Structure 1
């Protein structure tokens, strides 16, 4: 006979898990075509929020599934993350080449095997040790399926390995790639013509480089820099005309402001400037700040779901 107390505990645990999932805001893109549609500029778009390394909240370390889930409890968002390569060629998530700032380890991640790295735990932004291990990119990709979109920054992982992993997991419908130049984008397109990019396009000259290289603007978002400035207006005009959304990242700029009130004013200024994507270490703050400016009806809304 089954232990009734055990059954009750199991039911309670399952209820908590289901309840947690139901309190999350998901972005669901089933394939590359839908991913391209989600990021297509129309002029009536939602202002999209992306968590830089997932977000910075006490108790939640950057580049961790726990942090992604915490953000999704408050707002639909996608995430910029940082793949790095271990000594035995496993792709894991870590922003710095060294372990000290964000983990309990010391030295370079590349000097450790995957098995050795399992012994370390992640730290939050205040340096507090958590119970969370360093995740692999593969497990984060499988976690993200049906929940959100991942934007893979380029660190030390060869482009070939990144393309192969996306292909292996059939993840081009919700995984995009940061590219720093048209040559990187061209390489990925040779591997998969449906690739989606977060492209560094910070000037008219860089815009022309992508155009001349034949990179489809309908398959990218454009990172135009960290500041609101007059020069942005020309980039909005050029890129929006091609169907591409523009992103300003506050991570290295306005996120450094000391008070929440100052940051809120800055996030609003980004949205009013014309950017349709805001990247931030504080995605929850951004979402709350820009709520009054959100379009009631936008093409992106059909990809949002609540569970």
Structure 2
């Protein structure tokens, strides 16, 4: 999905806003240049795991039943101070606070490898400079990732293979396209037998049909922002159980669209990175109740899942009163203790 950080100027603004959030809601942050993992070897953390073992289980997990899942979609994994976007440590930090899908950004290297990095260039989020596609994997691994404040961390750019290896049994990855061909993404998921824990964002109906033809076990996130797009997808021949419908970064106000998606047995997702997430930071007083009311209005309208830049804040905010996983989904969603490395 397109992102809310377009250039260095936006990045600086974003960093300041995240800093405000950390100060007002999360308390003091750790040293930003340090690896942000727990220091006490005896302390325990938790991980909110989504663990489907088969593609069928994943489709069943995301089938619309009328019982809401306490799950958000973490845009770029949910970056924060000390936690760079598209970084495994950041993914773990997000899952310590809430159940989340992790939206990530594959990109091609000069030598044909696939890494996970949002921008086409390195300057904003790493210590490197220039275009990703003009660097080899070996060169890219020498750079260090920056957090949202532009502070250099100890973390390096992960490969998609590394992220897929890490994610199994923990969460569901949602692979955006960027410059990676559809067939390449399909082949990587297939190679890892990751159909139960990796989805793809697919832009056109032509690509939706192509993806399904290459591997019918892969679930997709498909943009369906109108009744016309819904009818077009209906005519594609691809089963509705294979998709989550993304209704847009500007959530539709027409409840009938959400209802039409639900009638197909499919979940409706909306994005808040370009609207409510920004408003979250610009308020003079960040009042939990008013914030909860704004985000929950989207759920009342019919949204089943929210894609957000603030998963660790919005997940608990949305589901404080009703955090329980529906009984039928509990074998696939669990909160488990995990010891720090």
**TM-score, normalized by the shorter chain, greater than 0.5:** yes
d(CA) in 2 for partners of 1:16, 1:235 = 50
d(CA) in 2 for partners of 1:270, 1:176 = 24
d(CA) in 2 for partners of 1:146, 1:55 = 19
Q: Does 1:288 align with 2:311?
A: no
More helix by share: 1
Aligned to 2:227: 204
1:40-189 to 2 correspondences below 5 Å: 40-189=63-212
Q: Does the 8 Å contact 1:47/1:271 carry over to 2?
A: no
Q: Does 1:256 align with 2:285?
A: no
Give 5+ residue unaligned stretches, structure 2.
Answer: 1-37, 337-341
d(CA) in 2 for partners of 1:293, 1:36 = 27
Query: Cα offset for 1:294?
Result: 2.9
Q: Does the 8 Å contact 1:40/1:244 carry over to 2?
A: yes
Q: Does the 8 Å contact 2:71/2:98 carry over to 1?
A: no
Query: Cα offset for 1:301?
Result: 3.1
For residues 11-68 of structure 1, the C-alpha deviation after alignment (integer angstroms, 9 at most, x for no partner) is: xx9x939934xx1111101110011011100111224211000102110000000000
User: How many residues are aligned here?
Assistant: 292
Q: Does the 8 Å contact 1:149/1:174 carry over to 2?
A: yes
Q: Does the 8 Å contact 2:225/2:252 carry over to 1?
A: no
- What secondary structure does 2:221 align onto? strand
Query: Cα offset for 1:288?
Result: 1.5
Q: Does the 8 Å contact 1:228/1:269 carry over to 2?
A: no
- What secondary structure does 2:277 align onto? helix
Give 5+ residue unaligned stretches, structure 1.
Answer: 1-12
d(CA) in 2 for partners of 1:280, 1:63 = 14
Aligned to 2:261: 239
Aligned to 1:33: 56
For residues 242-289 of structure 1, the C-alpha deviation after alignment (integer angstroms, 9 at most, x for no partner) is: 100000111122111124436444322222221111110000111121
For residues 105-127 of structure 1, the C-alpha deviation after alignment (integer angstroms, 9 at most, x for no partner) is: 11110000000001111111111
d(CA) in 2 for partners of 1:130, 1:199 = 34
**Greater shift in the superposed pair: 252-261 or 277-286:** 252-261
Change (3 A) 1:182 1:305: same
- What secondary structure does 1:51 align onto? strand
